[in-house]
Amino acid sequence: MAPQLLGYRLMAVNLSDLAAMGAAPRWCTLALTLPSADEVWLDGFSRGLFELAERFGVSLVGGDLTRGPLTLTLQLMGRVERSRMLTRGGGHVGDDIYVTGTLGDSSAGVALIMERSAAPPGSAAAALTQRFQRPMPRVGAGLALRSLATAAIDISDGLLADLAHLCKASGCGATIDVERVPLSAELLSLFPPQEALAHALGGGDDYELCFTAPPSRADEIEAALEASSTPFRRIGQLVDDQVVQCRRDGEPFMPATRGYRHF
């Protein structure tokens, strides 16, 4: 991957974590371990990193530089009032489950990269690979939701895996209507429906937000996310259970995968 894309992604995935907590990004520290002082590589990496840092008002305030195998470590800090902070543990039985954007594009983009499939500019393949290489963190949506949502998490391990983390912290389960999971036209144009859905449910690396809110907040959420130009969709509900279940047209549905497992 080009160094500019590495710098961009390093900042993007950390911004996504702050977005999921409703925090305004402020500062970062950067630790770089480099095999050598490659000025060309560092120039590209820095341009990618600061593209997003400047867009979201993040200042680099410290860090470390050492020689060794290439290792990139960014720590991002932000601010949010404790009473408005979003966590994984605030969901309640009966809350609606929402996601922003479309899911599965990044995972499909990785599949195309691994297959070395051609991705001409402007093509569906290029759009999917860009979703992996240049994810856009939902900082504005996180700020808009912090007085409305009960719980939130960003989707990095896959929808089902990350929703399971939210449910575990909230002490409940979830039911997902898979026909409501938002899929992009580009994804559906290059992958069969079942494969596209598998990318969306378990692929990961979307860096969209999954959040919950009581049904009584539906109109406020619609207004807040439309004001921040964020597409979203309600896909299910938190239930009095301990597992995340899928259904299609009201019938039980078994997903092909449930996402990334760290250990």
Q: Evaluate the CA torsion angle 182, 96, 207, 252 in order and state its sign.
A: negative
Residue 25: predicted pLDDT: 98
CA–CA gap between residue 205 and residue 260 (Å, rounded): 10
Predicted confidence (pLDDT) per residue in 133-169, tens digit: 999 999 999 999 999 999 999 999 999 999 999 999 9
Predicted confidence (pLDDT) per residue in 225-247, tens digit: 999 999 999 999 999 998 999 99
CA–CA gap between residue 244 and residue 45 (Å, rounded): 39
Burial state string for 95-104 with b = 16 or more CB within 10 A and e = fewer than 16:
bbbbbbbbbb
CA–CA gap between residue 56 and residue 58 (Å, rounded): 6
Whether pLDDT at 70 is above 80: yes
Q: What is the pLDDT confidence band of residue 118, given thresholds at 50, 70 and 90? A: confident
